[in-house]
Amino acid sequence: MRRLAAGLLALIVLISCAAVYAASGGESLITQTYLEETYVPGVLEQAQARVEEKTQSIYQSASSVLEGRHSAYLNGGSSASALTDYRFKEGDVLTLPAGSGVLLLAGGASVSTGTLVDVTAGTALSAGAALTARHRGLAAEGGGTVTVTSDTAVLSLEGTYTIVPSSGVDYNALADALRDMGLFQGTGTAYGSGYDLEVAPTRLVGLVMFLRLIGEEGAALSSTAANPFVDTPAWCDRYVAYAYEQGYTQGIGPGLDGRLYFGANTNITAGEYVTFLLRALGYTDSGASPDFTWSTALDRAVELGVLTSAERTALNSGSFLRAQVVYLSYFALSAPLKDGSGILLDKTAASSGVDKSQLQAVMDGVAVSRLS
């Protein structure tokens, strides 16, 4: 580029000199020696200086951008060359520079500052606008921030970004811990570790978690008991058959056709799941002197020290999702058994044949506070 600029300038100078010479009737006003040794070299030197000045300006601009990105990395920034999904909790804030992408897969999130372009819908989202699930978004010029608005969420990110975590309950960490302890599994969903914490749990989910917490999943899977229910999928046939044989469930009763139904796809409520937890701890809701009833399970759980008042309030006022199942299950492991022989974790380990110290080691690595 420099040689081309120099050549053009030299050509212009020579043409100008020729024009001066011609205009004077053939008599040169400037000697050829001056042109070759003084004037042209000076012009070329000035042109080269201007080119170098412009090149340095471009370099400094690019360098500033790269240094800014490097600084972001050093201060907790990250990047993804292609859309990659991550789990977040309520209140987490994602800062996206211009051009970075985001795709909401589960849960809720909204634009906090700046502008996000909804590429799928062809619209611009300003502060306060909610992200639409499965719509690809790009941060507009100047960038923007996105805040998670649900208990948990799964977002796929692309490009550079930084995350400011909130102090909210980390249901994701609790799910990881239960998974590592062998007490929680995903649903097979291809994103968000397959946890589906944003989905309402069914009676099947509640029953399976109950059997795992009391350490009897292995016994259930090897059971040869008959399954009296007609509405249970094949994957949970052994769980339901075993639970019925042990008297842990009676299903929802017979249908109009006279056959017995478990209510496999019916969503389980917070009270119904806490009923399972209280049973796991040795309390009964049947017989002549029941310890509680399913309709009073939440209140009774507070009285027994299984739940806090804040947890009861949250369960009564909010949605009951798989995230709450994970939360209740995790903290129930530290609740005392009715007979005073220890905590639920002791029972889980003893019945499943797992070394309690291994389970406890996982729990010791979790720093999630309860609602209080």
How confident is the model at residue 82, as a pLDDT?
Answer: 83
Q: Assess whether 301 and 360 both reside in one domain.
A: yes
Q: Which two tokens stand for residue 114?
A: 């700046």
Task: Please say which residue of 53, 74, 95 terminates a domain.
Answer: 74
CB-side exposure of 248: number of CA atoms within 13 Å?
A: 25
Q: What is the pLDDT of residue 314?
A: 97
Mean pLDDT confidence for 205-231: 96
Identify whether residues 163 and 244 lie together within a single domain: no
∠ CA(192), CA(193), CA(197), 5° rounding? 65
Q: Which of 56, 74, 92 is the last residue of a domain?
A: 74
Is the domain of 157 the same as that of 197? no
Residue type, 112: S
- Mean of pLDDT values over 226-242: 95
Q: pLDDT tens digits for 82-97?
A: 889 999 999 999 999 9
Question: How does the average pLDDT of the chain come out, rounded?
Answer: 86
Structure tokens at 32: 């050829």
Q: Is the pLDDT of residue 10 over 60?
A: no
Q: Tell me, yes or no, whether 27 lies in a domain.
A: yes
Identify whether residues 41 and 107 lie together within a single domain: no
Classify residue 245: in a domain, yes or no: yes
Within 10 angstroms of residue 338's Cβ, the number of other Cβ atoms is 13
pTM of this structure: 0.79
User: Do both 63 and 81 map to the same domain?
Assistant: no
pLDDT score recorded for residue 56: 55
Residue 372 lies in a domain: no
Same domain, 41 and 160: no
In this prediction, residue 80 carries a pLDDT of 80
* 362 band by pLDDT with thresholds 50, 70 and 90: very high
- What's the pLDDT tens digit per position in 33-77? 655 666 556 655 665 666 555 545 544 544 444 444 444 434 447
State mean pLDDT over 141-163.
Answer: 97
Domain co-membership, 210 together with 311: yes
Query: Looking at the 3D structure of the chain, how many domains does it have?
Result: 3
Owner of token pair 């309860």: 370
Residue 324: strand, helix, or coil = helix
- Shared domain check, 315 and 206: yes
- Residue 215's SS3 state is coil
The domain spanning residue 95 has which CATH number? 2.60.120.1030
Q: Is residue 263 part of a domain?
A: yes
Domain boundary (167, 192, 227) is at: 167
Contacts of 237 (CB under 8 A, 6+ apart): 227
Residues 159 and 188 in one domain: no
Residue 369 lies in a domain: no
Smallest Cα–Cα separation from 297: which of 330, 266, 273, 321?
Answer: 273
Both 212 and 320 in one domain: the answer is: yes
Whether residues 92 and 190 fall in one domain: no
Under 8 Å between Cβ of 240 and 262: yes
Say what the pLDDT of residue 284 is.
Answer: 95
Angle at 184 between CA 179 and CA 188, to 5 degrees: 95
Lookup: tokens for 111: 């634009």
CB contact set of 258 (below 8 Å; sequence gap of 6+): none
Structural domain contains residue 65:
yes
* Confidence at residue 24, expressed as pLDDT on a 0 to 100 scale: 46
Same domain, 243 and 222: yes
Residue 270 banded pLDDT, cuts 50, 70, 90: very high
pLDDT tens across 289-302, in order?
999 998 999 999 99
For residue 105, tell me if it sits in a domain: yes
Domain residues for the domain of 297 are: 172-364
Please check whether residue 371 lies inside any domain of the structure: no
Q: How far apart are CA 325 and CA 100, in angstroms?
A: 34
Backbone angles phi, psi at 74, to 5 degrees: -65, -25
